[in-house]
Amino acid sequence: MQNIPGKSLMCYVAALTVGYLLVALMRFNLYGYRSNWCIASGYLVYTALMASFFWLNVMAFDIFWTFGGSRGRSSERRKFLYYSLYAWGVPLLIVGFVTLVDNTELIHESKRPQIGKERCFVSEERLIGFLYMYLPLLLLVSANVLFFAVTAIRIYRMEQATASALSGESRRHTKYEKDRNRFSLYVRLFIIMGVTWTVEIITFLVGESSWLIYLVDICNCLTGISIFILFVWKPKVKQLLMKRFGMNRGVPGRNEQNTNSTVSTTRSTDLKGTANPETRLTDMTHGN
């Protein structure tokens, strides 16, 4: 998790966690509308969700760049800095614009986001919701689809053209397999989030009905579990957790191996100690 894909994933999960946590607090209506806390939480949710969209876009672009054959001279640290400036900076610029528009007379009030007026988020009016929430989402999702489609085509062509060459170059083949597996994980992550936000957009366009709202809530609840299974719950992690909490004591193969090793070591030590008893008696005599 110390490389660019791992850091990007952590930033994405962090932004998504903050956004969903604040949305959950909004559901409980802990503070009334038009209050300072309501307005502040609305802007924070907007920022966090926008940042999560942009970090998903960063991951899609990074895997696209990896299979594109382009090798820039910038270091990993500088590359991640550029990604951070984009994924954190652009949402902050958008939020700054939204804040300016919402609190000045630049545009008519009917076209303003109206955060904290009707609810602690962007207004439910369709045109406003589309302009300030779903239009950026659609643009980023379209870009992600393009990145993944081009990457998939490149992977297919690489497999067709260099299958024999890769079999003879184990190091290059290993790196290729890692990048290919990462692409597969990103595609599954994109599908998970794509389904969630597609249902959200359908709910927005069709209108709020009870079963659609429940479907959106179920998708949102399963998002964290899906990300955990995809990126965290791996065999190595399971072994570390089992070792940490002492849950691997019942594994017969490993325990038998350790027991046999201990018995063999003990027998070897006993044989060494009794192989030459005269030497031991001589040493004891000289010692006295």
What ranges do the domains of the chain cover? 4-245
pLDDT per position as a tens digit, 147-188: 888 888 887 777 777 655 555 555 555 666 777 777 777 777
Distance CA 160, CA 176 (A): 14
Name residue, tokens 């559901």. 27
The residue among 125, 100, 95 whose CA lies nearest residue 110 is: 125
pLDDT per position as a tens digit, 25-68: 887 777 666 788 888 999 999 999 999 999 989 988 988 888 77
pLDDT per position as a tens digit, 122-142: 888 888 988 998 899 889 988
Burial class (CB in 10 A: 0-12, 13-18, 19+), 123: buried
Contact (CB, 8 A) for 146 and 57:
no
Assess if CATH 1.20.1070.10 describes domain 4-245: yes
Distance CA 113, CA 135 (A): 13
**Looking at the whole model, is its pTM more than 0.85?**
no
Distance CA 183, CA 52 (A): 18
Look at the alpha carbons of 28, 30, 32, 37 in this order and tell me if their dihedral is positive or negative. negative
The residue among 230, 237, 140, 142 whose CA lies nearest residue 182 is: 230
Tokens representing 287? 């010692």
The residue among 99, 98, 97, 86 whose CA lies nearest residue 53 is: 86
Name residue, tokens 């800095």. 81
Distance CA 120, CA 130 (A): 17
